[in-house]
Amino acid sequence: MMKNIRIVLINTSHPGNIGATARAMKTMGLNELYLVQPLNFPHPKAHEMASNAGDVVDQAIVVDSLEAAIGDARLVVGTSTRSRTIPWPMLTPREFAEKARVETLHSKVAILFGREQSGLTNEELHRCHFHIQIPSNPEYSSLNLAAAVQVIAYEICVASQNEVVTPQSVDWDYQWANAEQMEGFYEHLQRVLVALDFLKPEAPRQLMTRLRRLFHRARPDVMELNILRGILGAVEKNKK
């Protein structure tokens, strides 16, 4: 389970938080850390805060885009403390850990953590199948970045020690589409909807956001996604 869990930090501003995150991960058996455009890394403070988890810091993969961090993941979740205009499927850390226990048998799972001050953007959250909300004091719900990682990593560690009851979905004939494949589909879908004049770029009315939520809930496998892309291609051909 642990080798298929990826922690993704986006635009982290303080290198000490990267080190503290690495420590939180290592204490729970996680070691795959991706950093999307960190503002100050590498930095000695990261190693100082990592204590004996400097190896996780040294092995951290720095990338220029979210796409590079989650492209091969078949389940992407994002942490959020804010309610959204368009509701998204929500999980507690414990519910997520139980889901990840099964998903990681055959798939990479990515967990997104946003900026220290503002968290994840709406666009980044829309890339996720689920959002995770850590129960906290409603009058002061802001957790330190490493503390949030620690809570979720702890639940993953506990779940990893439980016996896996294999659901029918594990024996599915095709793998779920990964994040990169889904993004290609969304780009294709938007292009076709614009060509059909169903989607007006100047007044989108959150149509693509709602369609993202729909297909994230459906979780198409690679064959189903190929069928959908084939339908879109036929529409484009007949439109000409």
End-to-end CA distance of the chain: 48
CA separation for the pair 149, 240 (Å, rounded): 50
CA separation for the pair 107, 177 (Å, rounded): 10
Which tens digit of pLDDT belongs to each residue from 139-170? 887 789 999 999 999 999 999 998 665 554 55
CA separation for the pair 5, 17 (Å, rounded): 19
**pLDDT value for 85:** 76
> 182: pLDDT confidence band, cut at 50, 70 and 90?
very high
CA separation for the pair 7, 112 (Å, rounded): 6
Instruction: Report the candidate in 3, 2, 5, 4 with the shortest Cα–Cα distance to residue 132.
Output: 5
| Paired residues of 33 in beta bridges | 7
Which tens digit of pLDDT belongs to each residue from 59-86? 999 999 999 999 999 999 999 876 667 8
> Which pair of tokens denotes residue 8?
């993704």
Strand order in the sheet with 61-63: 61-63, 33-36, 5-10, 109-113, 75-79, 130-132, 90-91
**Global pTM value:** 0.92
> Which pair of tokens denotes residue 211?
């369609």
Identify the structural domains of the chain with CATH numbers, from first to last.
Answer: 2-166 (3.40.1280.10), 172-239 (1.10.8.590)
